[in-house]
Amino acid sequence: MEHYLTTWNTSYLHATSTTVLLGTEKLTTSNSFYPKQNRLLFYRHKFTQQNGLLSGPKSDDEPFVVTTFPWIKLTRNDFEEPFNSPVPKGPYVDFVTEQFIATSNSYGIVSNSFYELEALYVDHCNLEFKPKTWCIGPLCLAEEVQSSSLQTKTKPCSYQKPTWLQWLDQKLVEGSTVLYVAFGTQARISSQQLHEITVGLEESKVNFLWVTRNSESELEDGFIERVKERGLVVREWVDQMAILRHESVQGFLSHCGWNSVLESLCAKVPILAWPMMAEQHVNARMVVEEIKVGLRVETSNGSVRGFVKSEGLERMVKELMEGEMGKEVRKKVKEFGEPAKKAVEEGGSSWHSLNQLIDELQALVGIS
């Protein structure tokens, strides 16, 4: 009898699946437990038909309370189309619904999170829903744990630090703090919004390292030259964890993709949240409102999907890097860095969870 293991990347609600021979059951991978977009789809029937939560608000930005967790408030704009509709429907909705039906019938879910970060939601999901979920993250620390168990590797004599790392080292020597700016690889930023970003960063007077995509290369003429003493724009691949862990980096202007959120928490760097797509809006709510390790950019019309003007960005960049609210979130984020590290170490919560999963899978296929 054939056994199957199915992995599913739910970050953007796309079904990226890989199937290998394992057992009669399926195993599914996920990210976070906090009621983000992919988790809230489990509640879609309850929202739209039983409680009518999505149909209640008069506008897309009017908050509604998540029934199970009444301290959490969301808006329809926290969801991507078509799931921001009072009654989502269409082929894509049907497709995603089939995914979740398959997930509910699988053997289990593997989550890139750690119990200490989302204990309440982990316990709730494992009590109220099937299948069981195992937290085995943060996976961004896996390489570090592996390296620490081996002898320290020396870099080859020919190794040369990349330019961006040399620049960060120089800022550290100067005693300067740096804001790291990156918006991921998926979201498309308009030329008008890029202009506002350049003006906001320039007027903020803070030091910044901005990693952009080639498609975002058309920055304002003269911008790079004007900010060259305190700003570096990078269009090549960078090691994001190395940047976040650099002692000079004291803030992260981020799109709030789940990997970036976890990496920032592990590096103990507070976030200035600017969600743009997929589940990022709900991630941002978790960062700012639930665990309180970040601030949020100001939009011109108050909508979570509104346009961000330069003066609003400038104000919040300064607040994160120099203000009292920035000090508070910088203090708060330190509470999660050490538990994240301990979770993946031998004896930690994720270590135990993964070993339990392995034991169960071995028993499933008859391996002693």
315 pLDDT more than 90: yes
Kindly state whether residue 116 falls inside one of the protein's structural domains. yes
Q: How many structural domains is the chain composed of?
A: 2
Considering the domain architecture, whether residues 257 and 115 belong to the same structural domain is answered as no
**What is the extent of the structural domain holding 309?**
161-337
Q: Angle at CA 287, nearest 5°, toward 59 and 259?
A: 110
Considering the domain architecture, whether residues 56 and 189 belong to the same structural domain is answered as no
221 pLDDT more than 90: no
Kindly state whether residue 154 falls inside one of the protein's structural domains. no
Q: Tell me the helices (H) and strands (E) count for the chain, helix number first.
A: 14, 13
Considering the domain architecture, whether residues 279 and 168 belong to the same structural domain is answered as yes
Asked, as a colleague might, if the bond just before 138 is cis with ω within 30 of 0, I would say: yes
Kindly state whether residue 344 falls inside one of the protein's structural domains. no
Considering the domain architecture, whether residues 307 and 203 belong to the same structural domain is answered as yes
Q: What is the mean pLDDT of residues 315-319?
A: 98
Sheet bearing 132-135, strands edge to edge: 27-30, 108-111, 132-135
Kindly state whether residue 349 falls inside one of the protein's structural domains. no
CB of 40 within 8 A of CB of 69?
no
Considering the domain architecture, whether residues 265 and 126 belong to the same structural domain is answered as no
Considering the domain architecture, whether residues 270 and 225 belong to the same structural domain is answered as yes
115-139 pLDDT per residue, tens? 999 999 889 888 888 888 889 999 9
Q: What is the mean pLDDT of residues 334-356?
A: 95
Considering the domain architecture, whether residues 206 and 118 belong to the same structural domain is answered as no
3-class SS at 57? coil
23-58 pLDDT per residue, tens? 445 566 666 555 554 454 444 444 444 456 666 777
Cα–Cα distance for residue pair 162/247, rounded to 1 Å? 16
Kindly state whether residue 346 falls inside one of the protein's structural domains. no
Q: What is the mean pLDDT of residues 281-309?
A: 94
Per-residue confidence at 2, pLDDT binned at 50, 70, 90?
A: very low
Considering the domain architecture, whether residues 205 and 300 belong to the same structural domain is answered as yes
Asked, as a colleague might, if the bond just before 162 is cis with ω within 30 of 0, I would say: no
Output Rg (C-alpha) for the chain, integer angstroms: 22
Considering the domain architecture, whether residues 165 and 131 belong to the same structural domain is answered as no
User: How high does pLDDT run on average in the chain?
Assistant: 82
Kindly state whether residue 351 falls inside one of the protein's structural domains. no
What sections of the chain are H helices per DSSP?
Answer: 37-40, 44-45, 91-104, 119-128, 142-148, 163-173, 191-204, 223-226, 240-245, 258-267, 280-285, 310-322, 324-344, 349-365
Considering the domain architecture, whether residues 181 and 312 belong to the same structural domain is answered as yes
pTM across the whole model? 0.86
164-217 pLDDT per residue, tens? 999 999 999 999 999 999 998 888 899 899 999 999 999 999 999 999 976 555
Considering the domain architecture, whether residues 211 and 332 belong to the same structural domain is answered as yes
